[in-house]
Amino acid sequence: MRILSPILNRVIYPTLGHVGYFRSTSHLTVLTYHGVMPETYRPRDPRLDGHLHRADDLRRELKLLKKSYSIILPEQFLDWSQGNGRLPKRAVLLTCDDGLVNAVVGMLPILQDEQLLCLFFVTGDSLKKKLRMLWHEELYLMLMDSQARELQICIDSVPFKFELNNAAGKQSVWWQLVKGLSRLGGEQRAVAMAQARTELGLDGDWQSRYLADPVLRLRFAVLSHDHLHQLAQAGMTIGAHTLSHPLLSEQTPDMAQMELSQSRLALEADLEKPVWALAYPFGGPGAAGEREFRMAEIAGYQCAFLNYGGPVRKDSCRFALPRIHIPGDIRGASFEAYASGFHSDFRTRLRSLAGSPRHDEW
């Protein structure tokens, strides 16, 4: 697929887009965004920043969708998912994950200008007063900022030792740590993160570098309580992204059920309105399975979303709804290939022919 990508993006997708091929679809697609890149922010690397969009790119994408597709309301989707009513052809639902400050400062004004509504998935951190980052992004930054050559850390009383030889090695260690730290409760995870920061040779106020700087704060800080209410007052629908964004599949049943149930209850109590939708953290094939799908239903959600899988089909499970992640560097005809579901279906067919397994995605 990597070898084919330049040919697809530069030749095949522009050709198909020019003749209107992508608009022949009748599928419902649910698109995943993660916010808008602050104007003067300099991206560090694609794995960390590749899911954020430049403001001008997002505006162009939304204008294209308004012109050639039917962007539906979140509540319109909910009614349809419960067997009520019909959706227009080429229906598209907009969603945004993680609940970062840039979703309000950068994305909300564009949505309002275009008179569009979006389903925003936020974590329980948005109900807290202290400014903070998503723990998995903080962990990634800690590893990349450190000059240490190794990391020794205890996770749930089990000692681990990791070699930190280069950026690729650090990325591999990061994902292993995400899995391991997801098995801890929020307070235990915070203790382990503090231990990791010390072992990596970072100062106790290291985080202030990202939260005190106005540009970096827009990029990395989680929504404040006031921001959350700003979204709701603007007419946006709020969904849950769990309490602390763990990899649910790594947690015990009791821990995972608590993350799902308590996040919905806490948001409903604060917003004083139903929270009917869930997005599984990380959202890739290894992030949630049949166990989590049952838990989401038990927790009282009406539907729950993954972050892969292409268009929504008639037989899609309400608690394993597929979405299409829109990378930040996808533009023009390539964007339409993604948004229509063509790219996802094409990639699935190629993998099926090649017998390639699907890998975890962040």
Q: What are phi and psi of 144, to 5 degrees?
A: -75, -30
In a domain, 360, yes or no: no
Above 50 in pLDDT, residue 90?
yes
In a domain, 179, yes or no: yes
Same domain, 297 and 257: yes
Arithmetic mean of pLDDT over the chain: 92
Range of the domain at 188: 135-199
Least reliable range by pLDDT among 158-162, 169-173, 183-187, 353-357: 353-357
CA-to-CA distance for 260 and 358, rounded, in angstroms?
A: 25
In a domain, 211, yes or no: no
In sequence order, the 6+-apart residues with CB closer than 8 A to the CB of 199 are: 148, 151, 152, 153
Task: Quote the pTM value.
Answer: 0.94
DSSP-derived pairing of the beta strands 158-163 and 237-240: unpaired
In a domain, 359, yes or no: no
Q: Which of 261, 361, 247, 302 is nearest to 77 (CA)?
A: 302
Residues 342, 344, 345, CA angle at the centre, nearest 5°? 65
Same domain, 86 and 233: yes
The domain tally of the chain equals 2
Same domain, 277 and 331: yes
In a domain, 207, yes or no: no
Above 50 in pLDDT, residue 268?
yes
CA 77 to chain centre: 19
Whether 307 and 241 have beta carbons less than 8 Å apart is answered as no
Residue 333: per-residue pLDDT: 84
Q: Which amino acid is at 302?
A: Q
Same domain, 23 and 154: no
Residue 301: per-residue pLDDT: 98
Same domain, 256 and 192: no
Distance of CA 113 to CAs 48, 93, 230, 234, 319, Å? 28, 17, 16, 12, 32
Same domain, 99 and 184: no
Whether 246 and 177 have beta carbons less than 8 Å apart is answered as no
According to DSSP, the residues that pair with 120 across neighbouring strands are 96, 238
Residue at a domain's end among 145, 166, 199: 199
Q: How many CB atoms lie within 10 A of CB 309?
A: 21
Same domain, 195 and 228: no
3-state secondary structure of 265: helix
CA-to-CA distance for 204 and 224, rounded, in angstroms?
A: 23
Whether 121 and 240 have beta carbons less than 8 Å apart is answered as yes
% of the chain beyond a pLDDT of 70: 96
Same domain, 265 and 190: no
CA-to-CA distance for 105 and 305, rounded, in angstroms?
A: 25
Same domain, 262 and 331: yes
Same domain, 231 and 99: yes
In a domain, 213, yes or no: no
pLDDT digits (tens, 9 = 90+) for 213-260: 999 999 999 999 999 999 999 999 999 999 999 999 999 999 999 999
